[in-house]
Structure 1
């Protein structure tokens, strides 16, 4: 379906305020609502407004002037205009309406995702005196007892009487030190009443915190909280958001001020875009022949001023980032703006330094990991035109850049570009639509392009550019496959950590030569699960149909889907057996065992558990780059986007883990991850080596990843996709019904199944699989029943899904119980 039909009828010229407007309220509503505009209120398309919805006041976005209502129907009035100027341009309004239509999402939810702005107000619990409280205050004030007249209770009641609608939190803080619990008791005795009021948000300053200098051997005596703050700063370095530090140390601003008064810490203004440095040096490379050819081609297309999508297929370390930066320079020189997307927040600092050195304050960073205020401020810098280059993750796609010239999607194959909650848009595909609306050049870059993107080049939809030469003419790392089946046959041992003899020899040689090693194991935690060898029962999550992962540092069993935690049992909870066995290995165990194998080596780990705070993540990266770490163990976080010249050996443990998943993309993801991980080796002066341990050495994904032959893999995998009617050979949608009661989920799924059957000719050319249990049949206490729809016609599939969404009420299926995912990347 063409996006042109969604263009709002708006122009940049100021038009008279209409008397009726269509508004998309930022809520899960499928339709627009009509409101009247009071006299004297200036309302324009693209502005946010405050409107009544039932008994609530909600924020909405003005879409257009509305047609007259039928006689006898009155529209409720707009309460307030929240912005002095439109926050969504006609281009972004059109893009939002396209997302809502194609991905079958409520329009208000789409605009909520597009506008990372602070709400204009917030609900605050406030305290007032009750009638009983007033009487009690009068009695106490006139009491003859000195003790009563000087009591904390009287002070509390007087304070509330003198400060009507005082904030509950402020009241608690005021009396907490002298009279703990006094506010709670007064509320329980109904002397005070609590209610909620909406108050405009004030500006809250975000501060960076750092140690004032090295800690002495005998630091002053500190409280436990103050000591935790100092230790955290000493361990992790400067913190760019004081709130993160206070949250992790359970401290308060008072603790920070005390430490500042003691001269132990210093305050500084927070970095405006929230991105920190990892210490790269500024250096302009001389372009290789292939880089020069690609840049010349892209520059020509940029200057043509027409929309075009280019797939840049460059092997690892071929210098794609340098191409991106020089293309952005050309874009700025021509008076246009540029947008660069990276798949994960973890990659933002790695590329941030390089772009900051080139573009300075002309660049802003936008991603969901920023504090609310930082994101708000960065967004407005872009909106005011102060920042003409935006770098960020998926949500940065909606940055309010005017005159957009280039959109660059780095690592375009990454699944993290797909949003896993409403609206379930794919940022890569949506970037192509925004490029068409802006007449911008869209560049999709990857060493391992998605099958969909590469197939588009073969069909002529995208233009293909390739870079097959590494910078400095460095060779690709040599890859050796280690058959772990043969390793087991020869050693007749079952080790707790599958480090083969060959791998161990290579690591020892690395340590002797002073070179660095990376280990990839794409499973975090210590062990996969805890198994009883008597009854065969594994410790399961109470909310999800998944085993709990053992984390040794916390000594807890943790669910990686819902976060549920359980203590580690001494005996089996099912049969009371003592024979419990920890199955499998994660990065935490691998780190420990490598430290035991190589006691002289400096071993570190980088995964989501080890890098919970940005400061920790950056410190590990900086230490590894500076040679302070010999062996770095990590998940896929270390496999992409990083450039470590000192790494000459990459060891891939359990390379075939993802191949066993019930997902048609399992082979593609395995190939991509192995190829990307292999690309981390040999990026400096010394050649690189990669050792791949696997129990399936003959699998084409592993074999072709070892050969680093993308074209052969593409042709092989595309053959299977065509046979099984999966993307890119067909359009795909995932429909999931969920409920906390299994019988309810089954009943709703049966109704949806009958609905599909009733569509008759409309489903011709559409294959409907299901209903059946989803691979993960229960997540966060919700049972999940799944349908898969495959279609040769994407537009027909969209029509069927829209009919389903529109008829949910008639089918007695609540909208919150139905999940429709167009072009899913995860079928679990």
Structure 2
């Protein structure tokens, strides 16, 4: 009997597949297998099955187990992972395995994941006896009983979420004849047993209550629904124009035509998923109830994420809503992709596999021959250029969806003029902005103050000797967090207590320099007496679910002034916000990063769009020392088109993306000299690569923040007018890079956003 071998992809940087012997029937490609690798047992993905291997027989090991309970990943999904691996210059295993939930990458958890999970239901005796048998103050017991009564079969995991001692309680109720085990059973991921099914007539009711579409919305939905084959759309809609309504109606039309279809909806940040999920569940009530609408993001617990992923993989999930990692989910019936706020840098992974979820979404739509909708009020210049060239079909929403809602007026507060007239600011808040905040409070309206810098102050300083509080492990200053009385590095996480005196000269008069959201929150509480001030940033939303709670407080009208970073700038529909104040925007005007202006304009347009969404007159006040800057002029006119075309003309003259293609080689070493020497050797090796004459190589330079966590960093930029030449050069260059020594780590990033 001839032997059978499988070639397996492992999460390992070597660009090769690993051969293993099969004792039993060979698993088909796409199957997850547990294999020995060194002294460990790891999970790999079968890519090929063969009757031969070139590895010596004494070195070929045998697979330990195959995950037969999980349906194999499709050839289409393997092709997607293979494309991503080739384009982003990583091994197949470095793409495919991290794309799976952690629970599936642990062979020790397979049996538990796919075991038949007991599900409990009330008996007739239980329905009659339980309401009177429970103590009046036993809230957890009553929640458990109510879930059993309303949801039908309830699995053990959902029961434990309702009551910490659910196992013992259910066993007791079973002994009394009040509860029985559902003999139909089901795997641990057969759906949310606790969810209720849709009521008859719910779809019709949901559709009847939806807002009437504008003419522009109706036209956009009609064009998306009529699309045949691969159809990329750029939905350019001003803030508040109802892009979400276009997404919802497009999905309605899709499910009407194809009841078994799946849709993927991407959002840039985790904190946007709750409001999107609520909107989708309200509209698609007929789908809600099992696993038809699921979310996928990195903030989910392992089991929760595995449940959602498996629902998508098996086709039970009809709508998958997620952040960038969801673009690599297995979706066998995928028929429409939506990328909301497509311009957001958050769609680009900044560590490990540095992929762009937006770009992979477009490629995936092309692979399947379906429509992909990229929505934004401020599209990325790359997407805008694609539309200008006719490669994307542009759909426009030029007016706000609510008839009485208009775009807010935008006014610049000239800080230099305020100073010349002796009208100084109070800890960064100018007189006109303070007056506007007080006026909104008197009218019972909400205000939003935007500052894209968290913490109390960006640095602690000594006026006597010039000492600045720096991180001992990074070439960066540490941020003062006053409420916690700590100094914290936002790059490596190093923390220390605030010193009593300057460590260099002993001066006790050390003070914060600059301001962050914590300091602005404190200032506003004193400057606008009686105002309820709330701060939302990465520090105030560390706990799971805290962001959703804070945003709910804003929507409920329990906040008068909201202070925050970019977390509050996009996607949120604040109905009562009529004023937006912007602090410290000038810092990005003169950055060395050629994308800084584009990002600043997008941020300011997005945060401006939070004002005046429900018919209240909206106003945006931007504090600046450069009120005549062209970017601010375009912002005042809400003129994205003019800004985009002018910026694209500058990029064309300077030969910058999207008119050229770039890649970045980063090196990390114990010293800066080691990192630079590695990059110099890499640049010399590039001369031996075919196509290299079509690629421009720049000098190796230290990164802006040279040292992070005691590791020194440098970079080498490559550029070409031909994407094909650049990728071919990178493929040929990789073996030479692996042969070089002298650094801790190196990585290649294609289409870098931060240079």
TM-score (norm 1): 0.77
Correspondence for 1:29 among 14, 17, 22: 14
Match of 1:94 in 2: 79
- Equivalent residues in 2 for 1:256-655 (5 A)? 272=192, 283-301=209-227, 304=228, 306-335=229-258, 336-359=261-284, 360-361=288-289, 362-473=292-403, 474-491=405-422, 493=424, 495=425, 497-655=427-585
Task: Quote the Cα distance in structure 2 between the aligned partners of 1:577 and 1:349.
Answer: 49
Deviations 1:637-685 (A, max 9, x none): 1110000111111111112233343311100000000000110011012
How many angstroms does 1:399 deviate by? Answer: 2.2
Match of 1:194 in 2: none
SS at match of 2:62: coil
Deviates more, 1:348-357 or 1:720-729: 720-729
SS at match of 2:411: strand
Correspondence for 1:765 among 691, 694, 700: 694
How many angstroms does 1:811 deviate by? Answer: 2.1
* CA RMSD between the two structures: 3.1
Task: Quote the Cα distance in structure 2 between the aligned partners of 1:477 and 1:70.
Answer: 68
SS at match of 2:754: coil
- Equivalent residues in 2 for 1:720-759 (5 A)? 720-759=650-689
How many angstroms does 1:72 deviate by? Answer: 5.2
Contact 2:434-2:528 within 8 A present in 1 as well: no
Contact 1:721-1:727 within 8 A present in 2 as well: yes
What is the count of residue pairs matched by the alignment?
677
Task: Quote the Cα distance in structure 1 between the aligned partners of 2:550 and 2:15.
Answer: 46
Task: Quote the Cα distance in structure 2 between the aligned partners of 1:768 and 1:273.
Answer: 57
SS at match of 2:620: strand
Contact 1:543-1:780 within 8 A present in 2 as well: yes
Match of 2:49 in 1: 65
Task: Quote the Cα distance in structure 1 between the aligned partners of 2:685 and 2:695.
Answer: 14
Task: Quote the Cα distance in structure 1 between the aligned partners of 2:53 and 2:309.
Answer: 36
Deviations 1:615-658 (A, max 9, x none): 32222211211111111111111110000111111111112233
Task: Quote the Cα distance in structure 2 between the aligned partners of 1:417 and 1:18.
Answer: 45
Deviations 1:388-440 (A, max 9, x none): 11111111112222221100000000000001112111000000111111111
Contact 1:557-1:567 within 8 A present in 2 as well: yes
Correspondence for 1:794 among 710, 723, 734: 723
Change (3 A) 1:801 1:536: farther
How many angstroms does 1:763 deviate by? Answer: 2.6
Structure 2 unaligned residues grouped into runs of 5+? 118-136, 139-155, 170-187, 196-204
Contact 2:676-2:702 within 8 A present in 1 as well: no
How many angstroms does 1:505 deviate by? Answer: 1.5
Task: Quote the Cα distance in structure 2 between the aligned partners of 1:199 and 1:798.
Answer: 38
Change (3 A) 1:455 1:121: closer
Contact 2:415-2:623 within 8 A present in 1 as well: yes
Correspondence for 1:47 among 22, 31, 44: 31
Match of 1:818 in 2: 746
Deviates more, 1:445-454 or 1:654-663: 654-663
How many angstroms does 1:614 deviate by? Answer: 3.6
Contact 1:18-1:37 within 8 A present in 2 as well: yes
Structure 1 unaligned residues grouped into runs of 5+? 1-15, 124-197, 206-218, 221-241, 247-251, 259-268, 276-280
Match of 1:676 in 2: 606
SS at match of 1:46: coil
Match of 1:777 in 2: 706
How many angstroms does 1:274 deviate by? Answer: 13
Task: Quote the Cα distance in structure 2 between the aligned partners of 1:24 and 1:61.
Answer: 5
Change (3 A) 1:104 1:199: closer
Task: Quote the Cα distance in structure 2 between the aligned partners of 1:804 and 1:476.
Answer: 51
- Equivalent residues in 2 for 1:9-28 (5 A)? 19-28=4-13
Task: Quote the Cα distance in structure 1 between the aligned partners of 2:539 and 2:453.
Answer: 11
Change (3 A) 1:274 1:94: farther
Change (3 A) 1:491 1:332: same
Task: Quote the Cα distance in structure 2 between the aligned partners of 1:318 and 1:70.
Answer: 60
Change (3 A) 1:708 1:322: same
Q: Is the aligned partner of 1:104 residue 2:89?
A: yes
Deviates more, 1:22-31 or 1:415-424: 22-31
Contact 1:105-1:422 within 8 A present in 2 as well: no
Task: Quote the Cα distance in structure 1 between the aligned partners of 2:89 and 2:343.
Answer: 23
Task: Quote the Cα distance in structure 1 between the aligned partners of 2:397 and 2:255.
Answer: 24
Contact 1:120-1:201 within 8 A present in 2 as well: no
Task: Quote the Cα distance in structure 2 between the aligned partners of 1:521 and 1:376.
Answer: 36
Q: Is the aligned partner of 1:807 residue 2:736?
A: yes
Match of 2:178 in 1: none
How many angstroms does 1:320 deviate by? Answer: 0.4
Change (3 A) 1:533 1:272: farther
TM-score (norm 2): 0.85
Deviates more, 1:84-93 or 1:559-568: 84-93
